[in-house]
Structure 1
């Protein structure tokens, strides 16, 4: 009798154990499919002369290698300024784009569905530039003068903030809306009195034209943001994390390969090597994680958008900034790469 009962008990336990193994196996097999969705057929992102990481990644083919097993096409689109990158993001021409921080705030405040997910650099990439022989000595001297600037970009907003330091507004000057390289040309030819420059064009004006920086203020240079469309973040969070992993690799690589990076900037931007080195020297790559520091800097800068009536009356810019900065995706990527 005992032997019979033991056999029945053993048989029952065996069935339970087998069922557990089956359920465990099913869980293990199904989990990866849930945790990591398939990559899209195409990833559209920009490259910009003011974003060294984008130039390095594109030149090295690192994104293409990362997504080769998924048969995902990488489509690169050149952005000549934050205004172009924001236009491309808003229209869906790109999924991921690089802009200045305050320009991203302006874009989101005006309905651009983006979030800032990574910091590609903390640059001093803009200043007010004049010709070598210019009689202008201070921002106050710009009253009644022509200033070239690309509307909707950090240099444009920098120029407005600089004017405010001397008690001036854009009504006291004539702002000539030109893309960054055209602004440099207009300054050199005497069509404008000053230019809100952007590297590498600003560095080229200094090195090649002997141009002078009339006013510089690193605190008025907002961070370099890598932004993603909200629908892309929602539909492809794993893909975005993999893109940020490549950006993080590029950030670290730049720190250990400054000469090679300068050469890539020189070749891609079609500027001399000394110009590329000057541009690179004005970038701080040590703060890739968006967070409180960027939020505080943007909230300090944001009043210019209201003062100059660049956003709708009643816009809560603090709320816009809080919604813009997205810390979630970059955190584990940077941590796993050993970044700060």
Structure 2
């Protein structure tokens, strides 16, 4: 009886493996794959530079169409509007978008950066976040920089209603704080590093624990219709990730060229990224849970939102879990 049960379990496991394998390796292909690239997703710039996605799908006659994402807010809007297939965002931005009806799945961690900070001009009299009460701050709504700003305000005992937040793209936010049109800026890399080096802007607040991580997103429909495509995109991203780790000097040069920043800025920006682990980990879940509190407190999501269920529905780990990950140092 024991051997019969054991053989039955093995048979069932084999069948399930075959089914799951088929889900990720068979199916139709789109004629065009619309993939974003962003200066906050350095690996996307490597892929675009080397045409690795184009090479991957060339034999299938799938054309790669690159779309620039200036921020998580734009990437998520394009994904929801069906004008983008693969979108790069901060994970907390994805959670917020998911809670508000965007049927998306986060399927790959492209990096764990310290990319957000609150900055002021070089000659600003402000000395702490508490001094921002009643002041104007630029930051694009729905981005990791924006949610970082809200958490920084809460850390100082302030709320968004205690300040005047002006939603501007990252590049515009940099310009207005440098030219004293606003008092502070909830900024993000690489613009924060550029502003610091070129204009002497000063970091008013940093907190590595208030940064979410960078993820690739797809819609639920795309995941169901094209699982093979998603799987192959993950494999190509893995190629870029491992290359970046093994060729750090060349990576800095490519990032500088593709993001149109100086090499010193490139060194600073990439030095604030951890590219070592593309899989979703326990700490990533904790980061999202911790960050979700600000979404509820500032009424970006409903108070009765089941965050655990929302996170479980957002993260689709099957594509990265199929990888045989090697430790690259």
Give me the TM-score of the superposition, normalised by structure 1.
Answer: 0.87
Task: Identify the match of residue 132 of structure 2 among 139, 142, 145.
Answer: 142
- Asked if the contact 1:291/1:327 (under 8 Å) is kept, the reply is no
> For 1:154-212, what per-residue CA distance to the aligned partner results, in whole angstroms no more than 9, with x for missing partners?
00000000000111001111101100000000011000111011111111011111111
Q: Does 1:230 align with 2:216?
A: no
- How far residue 311 of structure 1 moved from its aligned partner, in angstroms, is 1.6
Q: 1:338 aligns with which of 323, 326, 329?
A: 326
Could you tell me how far 1:305 is from its partner in structure 2?
A: 0.4
Aligned-pair Cα RMSD in Å: 1.7
1:119 paired with 2:109, answer yes
Q: Cα gap change, 1:35/1:200 in structure 2, threshold over 3 Å: closer, same or farther?
A: closer
Please list, as runs of the form range in 1=range in 2, the aligned pairs for 1:98-247 lying within 5 A after superposition.
Answer: 98-247=88-237
Whose Rg is larger? Answer: 1
C-alpha distance in structure 1 between counterparts of 2:284 and 2:225, whole Å = 26
The alpha carbon displacement at 1:37 in A equals: 2.3
Change (3 A) 1:32 1:107: closer
* Secondary structure at the counterpart of residue 302 of structure 2: coil
**What's 1:289 paired with?**
279
Unaligned runs of 5+ in 2: 1-20
Higher deviation after alignment, 49-58 or 259-268: 259-268
Correspondence for 2:318:
328
8 Å contact 1:49–1:269 — kept in the other structure?
yes
The whole-number CA distance in structure 1 between the counterparts of 2:217 and 2:290 is: 20
Measure, in 2, the Cα distance between the counterparts of 1:225 and 1:33: 22
Aligned match of 1:86: 76
Asked whether the equivalents of residues 25 and 231 of structure 2 are also in contact (C-alpha less than 8 Å), the reply is no
Matches within 5 A, 1:245-256: 245-256=235-246
Partner SS state of residue 120, structure 1: strand
Deviations 1:190-245 (A, max 9, x none): 00111011111111011111111110001100010111111111111111110000
Which stretches of structure 1, 4 residues or more, deviate above 4 A after TM superposition?
A: 31-35
Deviates more, 1:290-299 or 1:148-157: 290-299
Distance, in Å, in 2 between the alignment partners of 1:181 and 1:259 is 26
Shift of 1:316: 1.9
Q: 1:277 aligns with which of 262, 267, 271?
A: 267
